[in-house]
Amino acid sequence: MEYDFQPAIDAREQLRRWDAGDTIWTIEMGGIGPGYEQAIQLLAIEIVRDEIDKPIPPAPPSEWGNETVSRLERMKTCGGFSGAQVGAAKFLSWKWFVVGPAALCAEFSGTNGDRKIQASKRWPRVG
C-alpha cells in the first residue's frame, strides 16, 4: 500500500503540527491498541515540548523525559503509564530529535514492516 503524506521533517515541526490540531505521522510503538498507543504518542510529544531547547544527548539516558512523565502522572493523564509505554515514548521522542519524524517513518516502511500511523491531540489531552 502506498501512502500520500508529508511527515514532519523535525521534532519542532512535529510539535507545531500537534499543537495546531493537525494530524501527525509517526510510527506505532505499542501494538496493543489505540488507547495504549495514543498514550505513547502523547507522552512522546510532551517530552519533545519539555526538551525542545535543550541539548540532545547522543543516546537517550535513562532519566530522559522523567520530568515529563512525572508532570503528566500528576495530571492523571491517560490513567498512568506503564513502564513499556514510558520506554517507547522516550525512544520515539529522542528519535524525532535525532533523525526526524520523516526519516523515522521511512525507516519503518517496506522491508522493515509498515508501522506508520496517524495521531492527533484530540484524545487524551493535556491541558
- Cα 9 from chain centre: 14
Is 1 a residue whose pLDDT tops 50? no
- Cα 86 from chain centre: 11
Verdict on whether the full-model pTM lies above 0.85: yes
Helix (H, G, I), strand (E, B) or coil at 116: strand
Is 28 a residue whose pLDDT tops 60? yes
User: What is the tens place of the pLDDT at every residue in 57-74?
Assistant: 988 888 999 999 999 999
**pLDDT at residue 71, rounded to an integer:** 96
Is 80 a residue whose pLDDT tops 70? yes
Q: CB burial class (10 A; 0-12, 13-18, 19+) of residue 80?
A: exposed
